[in-house]
């Protein structure tokens, strides 16, 4: 697995010949030049994770790319005429040979119910977990965690506790 950070929350994950982009948001622009993307995963509808103009550029530069998201972000994509597939909490789909799983339902609390949009984290190839803007525990071993570390909704100490909690977890599924 190869992971490249383009900016803020926008990553390229390469696994088994599949190139996956996460959250082309407004705080990064490098996504606008990337080619040969197979899948774009969008965790939620806030503009730092879903910038419609950037997504349109990504789609233009990558004909045939699949956009995968949840119903919240999907409503915004529908208004723009952008096709997408749904992958939400406890659902999965395989793209080529790469397993994608959805985890979580809500964005972390910003202030009371402000910002409580649908947030789906994505587990890629049973190795890499990208939770978006949430501290969701997928209840399975994680080799690589894309730790949320910058955002108006979090404290650094909470991010550290989340990482340590997931690291300490030992799951016995027998």
User: Over 90: is that where the pLDDT of 117 sits?
Assistant: no
Predicted local distance difference test score (pLDDT) of residue 173: 44
User: Over the stretch 78-97, which tens digit does the pLDDT of each residue have?
Assistant: 999 999 999 999 999 999 99
Predicted local distance difference test score (pLDDT) of residue 85: 98
Question: CATH number for the domain including 85?
Answer: 3.60.15.10
Residue 74 inside a domain? The answer is yes
User: Over 60: is that where the pLDDT of 170 sits?
Assistant: no
Residue 168 binned pLDDT confidence (cut-offs 50, 70, 90): low
Q: Which of 50, 16, 21 is nearest to 34 (CA)?
A: 21
**HSE, side-chain direction, 13 A CA sphere, residue 3:** 16
3-state secondary structure of 36: coil
Residue 173 inside a domain? The answer is no
127-118-79-86 Cα dihedral, nearest 10 degrees:
40
Residue 174 inside a domain? The answer is no
Predicted local distance difference test score (pLDDT) of residue 148: 81
Question: What are the distances in angstroms from CA 76 to CA 16, 47, 81, 118, 147?
Answer: 31, 11, 9, 12, 26
Residue 103 binned pLDDT confidence (cut-offs 50, 70, 90): very high
User: Look-up: residue for tokens 């949009």?
Assistant: 117
Predicted local distance difference test score (pLDDT) of residue 115: 62
- Domains of the chain: total: 1
CB atoms within 10 A of CB 74: 21
Q: Model's pTM, two decimal places?
A: 0.91
In terms of residue numbers, what domain contains 31? Answer: 2-168
């Amino acid at each position: 697995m190869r992971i490249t950070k383009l900016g803020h929350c926008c990553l390229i994950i390469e696994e088994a010949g599949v190139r996956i982009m996460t959250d082309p948001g407004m705080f990064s622009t490098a996504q606008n030049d990337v080619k040969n993307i197979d899948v774009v995963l969008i965790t939620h509808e806030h503009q730092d994770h879903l910038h419609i103009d950037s997504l349109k550029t990504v789609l233009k530069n990558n004909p045939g790319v699949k956009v995968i998201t949840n119903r919240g972000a999907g409503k915004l994509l529908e208004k723009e005429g952008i096709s997408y597939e749904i992958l939400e909490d406890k659902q999965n789909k395989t793209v080529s040979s790469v397993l994608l799983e959805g985890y979580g339902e809500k964005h972390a609390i910003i202030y009371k119910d402000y910002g409580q949009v649908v947030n789906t984290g994505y587990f890629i190839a049973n190795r890499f977990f990208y939770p978006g803007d949430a501290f969701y525990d997928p209840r399975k071993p994680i080799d690589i965690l894309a730790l949320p570390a910058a955002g108006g909704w979090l404290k650094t100490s909470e991010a550290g506790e989340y990482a340590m909690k997931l690291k300490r977890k030992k799951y016995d599924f027998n």
